[in-house]
């Protein structure tokens, strides 16, 4: 059954929505587990994301509703909030908690959320919700935060309110994304360059393993700790603040300082992956998608063997990419532990690729993946400011 999001808002709240916002999800083309190590990443915004419809109320209450989840929340306006359980509304509640703690003048709101990002897929649905909510509050109540400040406060909420020790890449990508461009972001300085991403005869395929993961409960925080151990060991001889402050050659000259074999593997991935991002940016800018694809494969192999965050499901996606002649490159994307993989696929062979991937994966894993075609899209904004096709896409999905 097709629905209209605005009609759903009126059905639920018995009044019209006054404002609408969209924030995309993201994929990281290359540069995984680099963001919290002060290195280079290359994410892009995708055309799937989070929609928020809002209307002010005079009841001094926040009302959270979602078309994706049954859980709802009505909570009075107050100075601070706490995370409750593992429900979806913790993400917007954390943002509101931040705004209230900063003494912004906020009124009660009726809020309807809808997302077309596959749940728990590693495409940054949490960052999408956080940034969309922060952008909305900043816009509605003229709080005066810059876009970068919205990114930084959203990351702080993810770290402190939600309890996930993520870096800043996800929030940055969904805020600053540009159509048909990848963002080469320095996660330490937050300087970035929009790299033209002319994929030519290729397109971006997103392959969902359909094995949900919960990031806060995964080994993500363990990897962060292992990297901190490696950094501390290297700092015995090197004046560095992050693992990615050094290149591969310098790392190899000092890797003897890291005595734990597992910690050494983690650090090796981080430093080499950071160098791969530089090579990938050069390949993308010159349109050498063959080279870019080989770097994607190398990135996945490192994440599998050195960082150990892939798993059989994500490995199956990369394996199929290597045997399909229509694929330039494939790799896991995001934090890993299941979630999604991506592949550069010839547009003319996308349907053939999809069937081949489904057959290969199903035979290996026992159930089918989901395969999506995505463009590289824009970052967060007012929904009415997006092109008409966004609204048309929305109505066709609801």
Q: Which residues are catalytic?
A: 170
Q: Which residues of 94-109 are buried (b: 16+ CB within 10 A; e: fewer)?
A: bbbbbbbeeebebebb
Spatial CA neighbour of 21 closest among 83, 75, 95? 95
> What is the Cα–Cα distance from 36 to 6, expressed in whole angstroms?
39
Q: Please state, in angstroms and as integers, the Cα–Cα distance from residue 307 to each residue in 135, 226, 330, following that order.
A: 34, 10, 17
Q: How many other CB atoms are there within 10 angstroms of residue 268's CB atom?
A: 21
Q: Give ∠ CA 51-387-169 in degrees, rounded to 5.
A: 55
> What is the Cα–Cα distance from 89 to 107, expressed in whole angstroms?
18
> What is the Cα–Cα distance from 319 to 301, expressed in whole angstroms?
10
Contacts of 252 (CB under 8 A, 6+ apart): none
Tokens 């009075």 sit on residue: 76
Q: Please state, in angstroms and as integers, the Cα–Cα distance from residue 152 to each residue in 145, 270, 297, following that order.
A: 10, 23, 31
**Chain centroid, CA 248 distance in Å:** 26
Name the burial class of residue 148, with classes exposed (0-12), middle (13-18) and buried (19+) by CB atoms within 10 angstroms of its CB: middle
Q: 36, 241 in Cβ contact below 8 A?
A: no
The helix/strand/coil state of 222 is: helix
Contacts of 242 (CB under 8 A, 6+ apart): 37, 38, 39, 188, 231
> What is the Cα–Cα distance from 168 to 185, expressed in whole angstroms?
10
> What is the Cα–Cα distance from 361 to 63, expressed in whole angstroms?
41
């Amino acid at each position: 059954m097709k629905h209209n999001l605005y009609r759903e808002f009126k059905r639920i709240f018995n009044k019209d929505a006054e404002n609408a916002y969209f924030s995309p999800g993201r994929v990281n083309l290359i540069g995984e587990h680099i963001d919290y190590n002060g290195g280079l990443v290359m994410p892009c915004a995708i055309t799937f994301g989070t929609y928020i419809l809002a209307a002010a109320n005079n009841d001094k209450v926040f009302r959270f509703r979602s078309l994706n989840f049954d859980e709802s929340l009505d909570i009075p306006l107050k100075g601070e909030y706490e995370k409750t359980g593992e429900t979806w509304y913790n993400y917007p509640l954390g943002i509101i908690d931040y705004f209230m703690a900063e003494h912004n003048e906020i009124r009660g709101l009726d809020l309807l959320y809808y997302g077309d990002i596959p749940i728990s897929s590693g495409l940054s649905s949490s960052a999408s919700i956080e940034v969309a909510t922060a952008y909305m509050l900043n816009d509605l109540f003229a709080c005066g935060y810059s876009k970068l400040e919205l990114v930084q406060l959203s990351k702080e909420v993810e770290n402190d309110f939600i309890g996930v020790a993520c870096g800043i890449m996800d929030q940055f990508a969904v805020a600053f994304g540009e159509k048909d461009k990848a963002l080469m972001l320095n996660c330490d300085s937050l300087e970035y360059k929009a790299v033209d991403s002319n994929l030519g005869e290729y397109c971006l395929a997103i392959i969902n393993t359909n094995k949900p993961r919960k990031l806060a409960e995964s080994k993500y925080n363990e990897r962060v700790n292992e990297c901190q151990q490696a950094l501390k060991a290297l700092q015995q001889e090197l004046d560095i603040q992050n693992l990615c402050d050094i290149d591969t050659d310098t790392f190899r000259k000092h890797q003897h300082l890291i005595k734990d074999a597992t910690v050494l593997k983690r650090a090796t991935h981080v430093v080499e992956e950071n160098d791969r991002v530089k090579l990938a940016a050069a390949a993308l800018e010159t349109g050498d998608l063959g080279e870019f694809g080989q770097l994607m494969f190398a990135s996945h192999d490192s994440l599998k063997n050195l960082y150990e965050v892939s798993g059989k499901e994500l490995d199956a996606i990369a394996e199929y990419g290597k045997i399909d002649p229509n694929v330039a490159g494939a790799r896991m994307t995001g934090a890993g532990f299941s979630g999604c993989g991506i592949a550069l696929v010839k547009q003319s062979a996308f349907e053939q690729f999809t069937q081949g991937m489904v057959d290969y994966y199903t035979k290996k894993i026992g159930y089918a993946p989901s395969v999506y075609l995505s463009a590289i899209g824009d970052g967060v904004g007012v929904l009415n400011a997006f092109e008409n096709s966004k609204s048309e896409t929305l109505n066709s999905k609801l």
